[in-house]
C-alpha cells in the first residue's frame, strides 16, 4: 500500500525519491591534511513518510573492507521550516547520530550540527545539491574551529537506477 502525501507537504527532497546507484568518496583521514580518498559503490532507495513531511533512505555501502547497511531519516518541521536529518549505522543499531538541521535555497540544501569526533567538539555540515536536470550530490564536511575552515570528508554522487554511471571527478 502507498499512502498519499499531504497537500501541503514540502517537496524539497522529492529529487531523491526512488532507487539510486551511488559513487562514494571518503577521505582516508580527518583533520590530518590528508589528500587520499577511498572510492566505493553503494545503493540507495528513498521513500516518503509522514505524509510527505519525512522520508527514509535505505543504504547499502560497499566499503573495501566489507559492506553494511545504514538509514537516513529526514523530517520537516512546519514551525521552523527546516529539515532534520538523522543517520543510523547498522553497525551501531542503538545509536542515532546527532541530527543536522537546515533548509534548501535555490536547489541547495545546507544542514548543520554540533557533534563530537574523537573527543573533540566539531561542527558538521551536509550539503545537498539538487539542480534540476542533474544527478543529486551530497557532501559532508567537518570544522574544528566553529566553521571558519571546513574539511570535506565524504561525497556521494547519485545516478538513478537505469541510467549509465559516468566517471566521477577526483577534484574537490
Which pLDDT tens digit goes with each residue over 44-71? 999 999 999 999 999 999 999 999 999 9
> pLDDT tens-digit profile of 77-117?
999 999 999 999 999 999 999 999 999 999 999 999 999 99
* pTM, two decimal places: 0.90
Residue pLDDT, tens place only, 14-49 = 999 999 999 999 999 999 999 999 999 999 999 999
Q: Which phi and psi angles does 49 have, rounded to 5°?
A: -140, 175
* Average of per-residue pLDDT across 146-165: 91
pLDDT for 170 equals 44
Q: Which residues pair with 27 in a beta bridge?
A: 37
pLDDT tens for residues 109-153? 999 999 999 999 999 999 999 999 999 999 999 999 999 999 999
Which residues, other chains included, contact 120 with Cβ-Cβ below 8 Å and sequence gap of 6+?
Answer: 144
Task: Give residue 3's pLDDT.
Answer: 78
pLDDT of residue 163: 76
With cut-offs at 50, 70 and 90, classify the pLDDT of residue 169. Answer: very low
Q: What is the pLDDT of residue 165?
A: 54
Per DSSP, the residues of 114-161 read: EEEETTEEEEEEEEEE--TTS--EEEEEEESSTTSS-EEEEEEEEEEB
**Tell me, what's the pLDDT at 171?**
45
Domain ranges of the chain: 16-30+38-160
Q: Does the domain spanning 16-30+38-160 belong to CATH 2.40.128.20?
A: yes
Cα–Cα distance measured from residue 102 to residue 78, given in angstroms and rounded to the nearest whole number: 12
Q: pLDDT value at position 172?
A: 40
Place 164 in a pLDDT band, splitting at 50, 70 and 90.
low
Amino acid at each position: 500500500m502507498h499512502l498519499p502525501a499531504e497537500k501541503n507537504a514540502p517537496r524539497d527532497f522529492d529529487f531523491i525519491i526512488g532507487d539510486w546507484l551511488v559513487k562514494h568518496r571518503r577521505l582516508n583521514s580527518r583533520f590530518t591534511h590528508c589528500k587520499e580518498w577511498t572510492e566505493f559503490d553503494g545503493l540507495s532507495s528513498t521513500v516518503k513518510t509522514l505524509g510527505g513531511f519525512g522520508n527514509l533512505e535505505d543504504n547499502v555501502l560497499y566499503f573495501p573492507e566489507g559492506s553494511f547497511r545504514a538509514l537516513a531519516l529526514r523530517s520537516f518541521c512546519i514551525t521552523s521550516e527546516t529539515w532534520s536529518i538523522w543517520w543510523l549505522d547498522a553497525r551501531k543499531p542503538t545509536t542515532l547520530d546527532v541530527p543536522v538541521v537546515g533548509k534548501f535555497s535555490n536547489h541547495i540544501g545546507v544542514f548543520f550540527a554540533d557533534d563530537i569526533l574523537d573527543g573533540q567538539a566539531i561542527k558538521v555540515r551536509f550539503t545537498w545539491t539538487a539542480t534540476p536536470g542533474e544527478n543529486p550530490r551530497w557532501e559532508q564536511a567537518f570544522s574544528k574551529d566553529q566553521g571558519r575552515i571546513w574539511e570535506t570528508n565524504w561525497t556521494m554522487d547519485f545516478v538513478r537506477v537505469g541510467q549509465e554511471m559516468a566517471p566521477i571527478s577526483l577534484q574537490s
